Amino acid sequence: MVSRLEMIARQKGLGSHMSPTETVCYLTADLFYIEVVLLSGGRVEDVRVAHHGEAPVSSPSLLQLLRMKKFEEFSLKLDDLASFYNIPGDSDVKIKIYTSLRHLETDLFKISHLPRSLRESDLHVDLIMNGRIGNVRSGKEDEVSSGQVALVTVGSSDASHKLQMESLISSPPQVDSFGFPVFQPLTESCSELLPATFLLKLQPPLPMLISFIEKMGEITGGVVAEKPQQVEPLPQLLMKTCKLLNSKIWTEGVQFVVPLPASEYHSYVFPGAEWGRESWKGALIHTVPFTHPGHVPALLDILRHQSAINVLLASCFSNHNHHIDAGLLYDLRCEILPESDHSLSVTFSIDDDNHLAVLQVTVVDSHQMSCRLLMPDFVDHKLDDYISRVLMRCMSIPITMRAIRRKVAGRTLPLADRESSVAMESTLPPHSDQSVPDIISAVYPSASVSHEAVKDESMASPPGYYVMSVAAPVADNANTDVVANRSPCASLGVYSHWATSGLPAELL
């Protein structure tokens, strides 16, 4: 065991030594160290991680890996720790940057604990979906294994930036008229010019539209990551990042056959020429730099907005191995077309292909989506509202299209009669097949579909589907006394809503 630990330390550029009693093996770096407490015969009793200036804390995950002799996975965990402490400069500069990072963590916790109102019955879900920056978790080396994760860390910068050297939020926090904290100005006494920026390190990397990347640069005052070297149509990027679809070739577009319950099949076509327009080109984003705690809620809002768009597009993807055949009778043929950078359209046929209809989908943000159904001689705003609620609940275009197909099937009444008929309908036939959530989750792993949402597409309750799946403890200490406004902070233009936790603060 000691030999393997010493070899891993050499490979990772860490120091290693044994305690005088030879019962503890130390793996050391500039700003952290690991204690491996050994028993006779090479068995491991405990593994502790000590961050700079802090007492060692036991790590169950590292302990389990060594007990199971999973040395390669243990080594990868050390990579995560080392990357977190990959701070530029000499020892003095590293300590200053690390100190700034810890003060950032303090302020993120203060923001997350501000009073707010509950919107969801599940407290943990509500915190993640509607909290100003969601569920903040203290720094650990353990990471969430599923969903979209953003680690708060630091990175080197060619230019020096003014970073905080103390908390910028008073205790107790003072809030503005929008319910956001009032930040202390970054003066010489509370900040320092350092060759670094804070980073949101996205895991996995997120496909993002160029327009959204530019908006993030506006939030941070021009502090942006390297300009993307390669831009591609957003659906093409999503296909590349999905392991189940990486064999699909984009070329001039692509077609998917999406299976639904009761042996229903939809065809979804993405025309390459249309998706090649500049407004729908994007890049894969690994890190998002920023310099102020007030930037975080706004950046997270954009990341979640992008994630919502990604999940909707990915819901039309499938690795179904049925051969695409022009003679195959699909229950629905759809063409997905881009509109603005946050809206798209679904063109499909009705009445045995005699007429075309269009569903316009606008993703206002990660919490608000609107739908409008355009059909010949047909207007029904109540149906539009119903479709919007279905989409918000299931976050799936195929499931929404199935609901539309059932609603409009066989409609031959005059316009006025059809409107009154639609108003009387309140439910859709339920189904018992549970495969649809599995299809969406398999295609886009960071999405989780609520089975309850799919069972009843007619809901009147808040959405039961959420863009991000989270593996974290229930938040039982949230302050929910006062209503919080989603409007931006006047001084920084920041917005609410995201989920957080980690190294030292990790954002889910």
**DSSP string computed for 111-146:** HHTS-----SSSHHHHHHHHSSS-------S---SS
Residue, of 481 and 378, whose pLDDT is higher: 378
Predicted pLDDT at 177: 84
Residue 85: pLDDT above 90? no
Predicted pLDDT at 145: 53
Mean pLDDT in residue range 234-243: 89
Residue, of 393 and 150, whose pLDDT is higher: 393
Residue among 366, 367, 359, 426 nearest 399 (CA)? 359
Residue, of 3 and 54, whose pLDDT is higher: 3
Residue 503: pLDDT above 70? no
Beta strand pairing call for 343-350 and 368-374: unpaired
- 441 contacts: CB under 8 Å, gap ≥ 6: 447, 448, 449
Residue, of 464 and 141, whose pLDDT is higher: 141
**Exposed, middle or buried by CB within 10 Å (0-12, 13-18, 19+), for 36?**
buried
**Which of 91-95, 126-130, 293-297 tops mean pLDDT?**
293-297
Least confident of 56-65, 217-226, 361-370, 431-440: 431-440
Write down all domains in the chain, each with its CATH number in brackets.
Answer: 2-84 (3.30.457)
Predicted pLDDT at 120: 79
Beta strand pairing call for 264-271 and 332-338: parallel
**216 and 299 Cβ atoms separated by less than 8 Å:** yes
**4 and 71 Cβ atoms separated by less than 8 Å:** yes
Angle, helices 381-394/415-424, rounded to nearest 10 degrees: 40
Predicted pLDDT at 42: 84
Predicted pLDDT at 327: 56
Mean pLDDT in residue range 75-89: 76
What is the 8-class DSSP label of residue 378?
Answer: B
Predicted pLDDT at 218: 94
Residue 451: pLDDT above 70? no
pTM above 0.85, yes or no: no
Predicted pLDDT at 324: 57
Mean pLDDT in residue range 457-467: 35
**276 and 198 Cβ atoms separated by less than 8 Å:** no
Predicted pLDDT at 433: 37
Least confident of 69-78, 293-302, 375-384: 375-384
Residue 365: pLDDT above 80? yes
Report helix, strand or coil for 239. helix
Predicted pLDDT at 149: 78
Report helix, strand or coil for 73. helix
**318 and 439 Cβ atoms separated by less than 8 Å:** yes
For residue 96 the two structure tokens come to 């200053």
Q: Which residue has the tokens 């969406």?
A: 440
**71 and 78 Cβ atoms separated by less than 8 Å:** no
Predicted pLDDT at 377: 77
Residue among 363, 224, 221, 222 nearest 285 (CA)? 224
How high does pLDDT run on average in the chain?
78
Please give the single-letter amino acid code of residue 293.
P
Residue, of 86 and 207, whose pLDDT is higher: 207
Residue, of 278 and 252, whose pLDDT is higher: 278
Residue among 4, 190, 209 nearest 96 (CA)? 190
